[in-house]
Amino acid sequence: MDRSKIEAVIQLYFDASYEGSGEKMAQVFHPEAHIYGRSQEGKLNDTPKDAFVQRVGAPRSPDRPIYPRQEEIISIDFTGEYTAVARVKLRVGNTLYTDVLSFMEVSGKWAVIAKVLSGVPIES
């Protein structure tokens, strides 16, 4: 079990999130992955990988504010020979997210198969 392979995928995830790169984000997730969150109404949001990647890579306003890069790997736990779970924190815009990333190694490649997110606004 090689922690550095998981860390490399997480670093790509951090880079894709900060840069708004759908291309990089697509490399992080397994093609069948899903992203889960909670709506403001308290309902489950279930977003397929392709929709999430498209949202990340959507054009952004050229006058959007620059925000400081903030990211941290809180933990990585191997739950089996081909599975792992990581908990990470990262800032996207004015929101600080805590994400739980479930990894699986398939065909020799580690990828996120599920993401559960929770975000809180950052006071400016």
Residue 7 pLDDT greater than 70, yes or no:
yes
CA-only gyration radius of the chain, Å: 14
- Under the banding of pLDDT at 50, 70 and 90, the label for residue 1 is confident
CB 89 within 8 A of CB 74: yes
Place of tokens 């997210």: 97
**Cβ within 8 Å of residue 20, ≥6 positions away:** 56, 57, 58, 60
Instruction: Let me know if residue 62 belongs to a domain.
Output: no
- Structurally, the chain folds into a number of domains equal to 1
Instruction: Let me know if residue 47 belongs to a domain.
Output: yes
Percent of the chain residues topping a pLDDT of 70: 99
The domain in which residue 14 lies consists of: 3-57+69-121
pTM for the predicted model, two decimal places: 0.94
Confidence (pLDDT) at 124? 63
Confidence (pLDDT) at 95? 93
